Amino acid sequence: MAFDPAWSAWRARATDPAGQSSGLTSQEMIRPMPPTTTLDRYTPYALAALRIVAALIFMEHGTQKLFGFPAPPANGQPPILSLLGIGAIMELVGGLLILVGAFTRPVAFLLAGEMAVAYWMFHAPRSFYPVLNGGDAAILYCFVFLLLVFTGPGAWSVDGSRNRADRSF
């Protein structure tokens, strides 16, 4: 654990070996978080792994609807300009952009919206419970993409390399 002077000062004030009042107010007794841990340095890589795996699986939904691969949808392939067809294009193209980490935040925002619409239009009317209406994947994708809106792509991304190139000038 790295040395953090603020943490050390708080510990010294909070612990009194004589059992006397520490002098801290109740708000000061609540320490938000200890200093960073050794796992924190892997956060960008874990986020990138989540982004890449989610994008690969998400793209599969698009390829199924557009090309019938790996298997055609149960209701057949939708017309390209239908709501499902446009969703399939968003899943394939948006998934590819998320996979490489290009324009991650705006694309993730659009895809989160797509998944929210998909859930409320197609899944929720079937049943209140996601496990019964088949919408659990839509909910998870929605929130994974919302996470990417706020965190960015993590490591191994076009966005990250573009940001590094911008800082070098």
For 23-41, the pLDDT digits (tens) are 656 566 565 556 667 888 9
Give the pLDDT confidence of 44-84 residue by residue, as tens digits.
Answer: 999 999 999 999 999 999 999 999 999 999 989 999 999 99
- pTM (2 decimals)? 0.76
Distances, alpha carbon 93 to alpha carbons 66, 102, 126, in Å: 11, 11, 28
| Separation between Cα atoms, residue 7 and residue 50, nearest integer Å | 32
Q: 95 and 15, same structural domain? A: no
Closest by CA to 109, choosing from 148, 139, 137, is: 148
Q: Which two tokens stand for residue 152?
A: 């960015």
Q: Total domain count for the chain?
A: 2
Q: Which two tokens stand for residue 41?
A: 């340095």
H-helix or E-strand containing 11? helix 5-14
Closest by CA to 53, choosing from 119, 135, 149, 140, is: 140
Q: 100 and 32, same structural domain? A: no
Q: 138 and 63, same structural domain? A: yes
Q: 62 and 11, same structural domain? A: no
Q: Is the pLDDT of residue 149 over 80?
A: yes
Q: Residue 1: what pLDDT?
A: 46
pLDDT exceeding 70 applies to what percent of the chain? 76
Domain that holds residue 16: 5-36
